[in-house]
Amino acid sequence: MKQLKVGVSILVRKGEQSLWENGIYQNCLFFVMLLLRSPLVSQAFLVTGGGDGSPEDANFLADSPVPLIDMTQAAQELDVMVEMSAQLGRDWMVAFRERGGKIVSMRVGNDYVIDIERMVFDKPHGLLLTGAPYDEIWTIPEYEATCVPYFASGFRAPVRMVPHLWSPLVLDRAAAGLPEGHRFDYQPGRRRWRVAMFEPNICMVKTSHIPLLCCEVAHRANPDLLEHVYAYNTFHMKDHPVFNGFANSLDIVRHGLSTFEGRFPTWQVMAFNVDAVVSHHWENGQNYLYYEALYGGYPLIHNSHLIGDCGYRYHDFDCEEGGRALQQAFATHDENLASYRERARRFIATLDPESDENVRIYTAAFENLCARDPR
């Protein structure tokens, strides 16, 4: 089989952008890091499209390990196009496939839930089902239950599960710019903990409601545990009457322990004022937030079944168990910090875009893709 030229779409819009806006930008970088290791790939590119940005607006990709090209160049040069951050136009896709190119849509969001919310709650139009001609849909294990059948039926294309990828490379680069005396690394020995939650609160798969209740349960059981609770990414909800009523029913709010904050990169705030992370997901159990917290040795209280034996797990929506998990972390984390870091290190190694196993799995996926007859 001939070597392939592979492009990965990334959205570039007008104005300032950051790799920390959402996980998908970093995901694009980790994916091309893997492509550079695959024996089946001769060249890899990030393809800027789907937005109204200029080359100057792509400065946030200055450290990309691969060149940036536009959609016109991609149409002429690539063998495989992977739709990831920027949605491909249907006419472009038809023309690309007619000249022999293969197209994969890499789905790294819970599109089943997102699409429902777009329709039911009149949110802005997004991907949905466009009738575009994909050769395959690739997705990650966190979406096996909700999205795999939805993708197969809706896109009328085979669905393949591939590993989630993460590297500390972007985090390390960012944290290197922290002021002297601050680092992205858990510091033991505090008498009370400053706890944070970072759920985006823009889709129901990741919200702060359960983490707030976990903290509430822990505070009721041990009023000396919490020094502060930072609910990041909630500033836009502070004046919503329903959220306001919910928050003001909590002792952690009424006792002055909680504040509702804007959106910040995790490394930027955790190095200054966070000792532990409390998190919650619904069918979205693979998150860069988890990996970042584990990498820094921070206690992670979570409900994910997809991060091995790392962190302090509670199940499903059980905020009572989550509160107990937070209490357990507070009581034992410092004593067991070395073993906690070692478990995290072993798990994070399984996410490495440049690991032999991940390169092998993705290379086999490309081989299968190219062997598939066009429909």
Model pTM? Answer: 0.95
For tokens 């962190």, name the residue: 311
Q: What angle do helix axes 319-332 and 209-221 make, rounded to 10 degrees?
A: 60
Sorted by where each starts, the structural domains of the chain and their CATH numbers stand as 4-167+352-371 (3.40.50), 179-349 (3.40.50.2000)
pLDDT of residue 358: 98
pLDDT of residue 41: 98
Rounded Cα gap, residues 289 and 292, in angstroms: 5
pLDDT of residue 127: 62
Residues 181, 187, 190: CA angle, nearest 5 degrees: 115
For tokens 């190119």, name the residue: 101
pLDDT of residue 16: 73
The answer for residues whose C-beta is within 8 angstroms of residue 191's C-beta and 6 or more apart is none
Whole-angstrom Cα Rg for the chain? 22
pLDDT of residue 345: 98
pLDDT of residue 22: 76
pLDDT of residue 119: 85
pLDDT digits (tens, 9 = 90+) for 293-347: 999 999 999 999 999 999 999 999 999 999 999 999 999 999 999 999 999 999 9
pLDDT of residue 368: 95
- The token pair at 47 is 């393809």
- The token pair at 193 is 């903990």
DSSP letters of 54-82? Answer: -GGGGGGGTT-SS-EEEHHHHHHH-SEEE
CB count within 10 Å of CB 40 equals 19
The beta-carbon contacts of 73-78 under 8 Å, at least 24 apart in sequence, are: 74/7, 74/45, 74/47, 74/49, 77/5, 78/5, 78/6, 78/7, 78/45, 78/47
Q: In what order do the strands lie in the sheet with 258-260?
A: 258-260, 226-231, 193-197, 276-278, 300-302, 312-313
pLDDT of residue 46: 95
- The token pair at 328 is 């357990």
Cβ atoms of 197 and 212 closer than 8 Å: yes
pLDDT of residue 334: 98
Rounded Cα gap, residues 274 and 115, in angstroms: 34
Rounded Cα gap, residues 143 and 147, in angstroms: 5
Question: Taking all residues of the chain, what is their mean pLDDT, rounded to a whole number?
Answer: 93
The answer for residues whose C-beta is within 8 angstroms of residue 162's C-beta and 6 or more apart is 106, 138, 139, 140, 361, 362, 365
pLDDT of residue 192: 98
Spans of the chain, pLDDT less than 50: none
Per-residue exposure over 90-103, b if at least 16 CB sit within 10 Å of its own CB, e if not: eebbeebbeeebbb
The DSSP call for residue 42 is E
The DSSP call for residue 216 is H
| Residues of the chain by 3-state class (helix, strand, coil), percent to 5 | 40, 15, 45
pLDDT of residue 375: 54
Cβ atoms of 20 and 55 closer than 8 Å: no
